[in-house]
Amino acid sequence: MIYRLTVVIGLLLALTNVLANAAEQIPQLTADGYAVPQPGRSFSFPRDHGSHPEFSIEWWYITGHLVATNQAEFGFQATFFRRALVPPGSTNHSASAAFGNAQIYLAHMALVNKHTGEFVFQERLNRDGWDASSATNTLAVHNGNWSLKLAPNTNGTPELFELQGGVGADDAFTLQLQPTKPLVVFGTNGVSRKAADPTAASHYLTFPRLAVSGTLTVAATNLPVSGQAWMDHEFSSSQLGAGQVGWDWLSLQLFDGRELMSYRMRRQGGGTDPYSTVAWIDAAGQVRQIGPEQFKWTMLAHWHSPKSGADYPSLVRLEAINPATGQPETFIIQPYVADQELTGRVGGVGYWEGACRVLNEQNHEIGRAYLELTGYSKSMKGKF
């Protein structure tokens, strides 16, 4: 009995050492001094809706589907990027109220008319200062007159996000976004790994379904709109590992109350990296994730961009095992409009991001989605 107890204790100590060593292999900082996401982080809100300047990359991402009172249907994207230029604590930067060189802010706005096929977008790039900033204690980010902020909490009112955006002089939107499902944290123990390199990871926070209301201005005409949106907030210091060139990201909002998020980290040659995942969110907001051995991503058709020369998937089949049932389900992702490419002329980041319908194998529409395709015109390595 004593021998067996000694063996068990020895095994437990060995396991403890293995886990400790594994934890030690995740560095606190990147080689250039930025924070690396750590397991077990305790998130606190509204602070963690805000900016995290100790990480080099951060974005707040909203995509959604709108219906106007005249029954016109639209898809929209609003993205605010923050990119650090010098690590925290560096003396090699300016922090003046007007201009700083520690952070730059990129923002993308896009709007697609699902009926006419018209797609418009605009990009902005500004230095930290009077024309672009992000608060660290709550969500309050802006780039010019585009902004995303958390409305003040009054007497315990639920979270409400306010979005101001637009494209050019004629198209704009003023929207309120109210979460209808709880916040989801993707990954394992609060860390969403993107590659074998432990620094290629993020803290990935998502509201998978928000009720949207507000006003859309199209060609100088104001249209009351309502709809649903998806909101991502990611912060990291690296999104890609060795051999990876980009990713295929997908958010599905199914009519039965479930959502799926998929990111396929794409390797040189088009293969799927082992750190890819599909996350299932049930009607109650519980999330379960599966790895690439349990899903299959198939390009059924492609679209050739006359602007960038890239060939993007234009019809995709996602087959994935539902971890709640152990059974496979199939989703066909079909863009409403083929050309929803943001060329990246301002910030140097070109990609395809578009509103899609979701079909089942019987060709019945069962949901709506947004699809993001990066690294097709040029590798994203070095940009994220």
Q: What are phi and psi of 10, to 5 degrees?
A: -60, -40
Cβ(351)–Cβ(226) below 8 Å: no
Residue 150: inside a domain = yes
Q: Quote the mean pLDDT of the chain.
A: 90
Write down the pLDDT at residue 382.
60
The pairing of strands 73-84 and 99-113 is antiparallel
**Residue at 366: amino acid letter:** I
Residue 6: inside a domain = no
Write down the pLDDT at residue 6.
33
Q: Say how many domains are in the chain.
A: 1
Residue 280: inside a domain = yes
Residue 33: inside a domain = no
3-state secondary structure of 33: coil
Residue 29: inside a domain = no
- Cα–Cα distance between 124 and 150 in angstroms, integer? 22
Give the other-Cβ count within 10 Å of 190's Cβ. Answer: 17
- Cα–Cα distance between 48 and 36 in angstroms, integer? 16
Residues in the chain with pLDDT values less than 50? 1-24
Token pair, residue 327, equals 């059974």
Residue 131: inside a domain = yes
Here the CATH number for the domain that contains residue 202 is 2.40.370.10
- Per residue in 182-208, pLDDT tens? 999 999 999 999 999 999 999 999 999
Write down the pLDDT at residue 4.
39
Q: What are phi and psi of 14, to 5 degrees?
A: -65, -45
The pairing of strands 161-167 and 146-150 is antiparallel
Write down the pLDDT at residue 12.
37
The pairing of strands 192-193 and 201-218 is antiparallel
Non-local CB neighbours of 274 within 8 Å, separated by 6+ positions:
196, 291, 292
Show the domain range for 227: 41-374
Write down the pLDDT at residue 2.
37
Write down the pLDDT at residue 18.
35
Residue 191: inside a domain = yes
Taking each continuous run of H as one helix and of E as one strand, the counts in the chain are 1, 23
Residue 12: inside a domain = no
Write down the pLDDT at residue 87.
86
Token pair, residue 256, equals 């039965």
- Per residue in 288-303, pLDDT tens? 999 999 999 999 999 9
